[in-house]
């Protein structure tokens, strides 16, 4: 099978999910099983729960599809990621007034 550098390869995979919404943690992780993700790749989850109620957590597996980035998408993602990284630096601290 020959793919052009502009086409996307679709790979069905299994994905481990971990969702928690508590006072201690608020997160949703999806970890693809058996595939390494590269810049520009897209992971589409199938039948994954959208959320859990406050105070709850959930772990499990679901099906997903990885859409591999084409050559142009991979280049664009790498080029623009350097500029997006600076968004993480915009952290501010306010001095607390002594009472």
Total structural domains in the chain?
1
Provide the pLDDT for residue 2.
Answer: 47
C-alpha to C-alpha distance for 92 and 78, rounded to whole angstroms: 27
Q: Is residue 94 part of a domain?
A: no
Q: State the pairing for strand pair 42-46/56-67.
A: antiparallel
pLDDT in tens, 65-81: 999 888 888 888 888 87
Tell me, yes or no, whether 1 lies in a domain.
no
Q: Give domain status of residue 69, yes or no.
A: yes
Asked whether residue 38 is domain-assigned, the answer is: yes
pLDDT of 94: 55
Domain contains 4: no
Asked if pLDDT for residue 5 goes beyond 70, the answer is: no
Residue at 96 is within a domain: no
Q: What value, to the nearest 5°, has the Cα angle with vertex 41 and ends 32 and 86? A: 105
- Give the residue numbers spanning the domain of 15: 10-88
Decide if 93 is inside a domain. no
In a domain, 51, yes or no: yes
Q: For residues 67 and 41, is the Cβ–Cβ distance under 8 A?
A: yes
pLDDT digits (tens, 9 = 90+) for 34-90: 888 888 888 888 887 777 889 888 888 889 999 988 888 888 888 887 776 666 565
């Amino acid at each position: 099978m020959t793919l052009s550098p502009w086409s996307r390869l679709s790979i069905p995979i299994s994905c481990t999910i971990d969702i928690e919404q508590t006072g201690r943690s608020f997160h949703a992780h999806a970890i693809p099983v058996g595939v390494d993700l590269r810049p520009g790749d897209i992971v589409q989850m199938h039948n994954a729960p959208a959320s859990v109620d406050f105070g709850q957590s959930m772990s499990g597996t679901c099906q997903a599809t990885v859409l591999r980035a084409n050559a142009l998408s991979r280049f664009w993602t790498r080029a623009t990621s350097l500029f997006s990284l600076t968004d993480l630096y915009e952290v501010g601290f306010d001095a607390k007034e002594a009472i």
